[in-house]
Amino acid sequence: MGGNRGSRIRQIGLVFVGVIAGVLVSLNFQAIAQRDRSPLPIEELRAFTEVFGAIKANYVEPVEDKKLISEAINGMLTGLDPHSAYLDADAFKELQVGTQGQFGGLGIEVGMEDGFVKVVSPIEDTPAYRAGVKPNDLIIKLDETPVKGMALNDAVKKMRGRPNTNITLTISRKGEPQLIVITLTRAVIRVQSVKSKLIEPGYGYVRVSQFQESTAESLVKAIDNMYKQGPPLKGLVLDLRNDPGGLLYGAVAISAAFLPQKSLVVSTDGRTEDAKRKYFASPDDYLRGGGRDDFLKSLPAAVKTVPMVVLVNGGSASASEIVAGALQDYKRATVIGTQSFGKGSVQTIMPLGNSTAIKLTTARYYTPSGRSIQAKGITPDIIVEEPGSSTSRLREADLTRHLINPRDKEAAEKEASEAAERAAAAAKRQNTPDDPSRKPIELGSKDDFQLAQAMNHLKGNPVVGQPPKTVAADTKAPGG
DSSP state of 175: T
Q: Is 214 a catalytic residue?
A: no
Identity of the residue numbered 163: P
Alpha-carbon Rg for the chain in angstroms:
24
Beta strands in 108-190 (DSSP E): 108-113, 116-122, 138-142, 145-146, 166-172, 180-185, 187-190
Which positions ≥6 away from 287 have C-beta within 8 Å?
A: 249, 253, 294
**344-362: b or e for each residue (b if 16 or more CB lie within 10 Å)?**
bbbbbeeeeeeebbbbbbb
d(CA 139, CA 170): 6
Query: Is 369 a residue of the active site?
Result: no
Give strand ranges (E) for 307-375. 308-312, 334-337, 345-353, 356-366
> What single-letter amino acid sits at 394?
L
Q: Which of 118, 141, 174, 343 is catalytic?
A: 343
Burial tier of 198 (Cβ tally within 10 Å: 0-12, 13-18, 19+): middle
196, 255, 318, 340: the active-site residue = 318
- Which is the catalytic residue, given 137, 329, 398, 448? 329
| 343 flagged as catalytic | yes
d(CA 396, CA 202): 37
Q: Residues 442, 448: contact at Cβ < 8 Å?
A: yes
Q: Which residues are catalytic?
A: 318, 329, 343
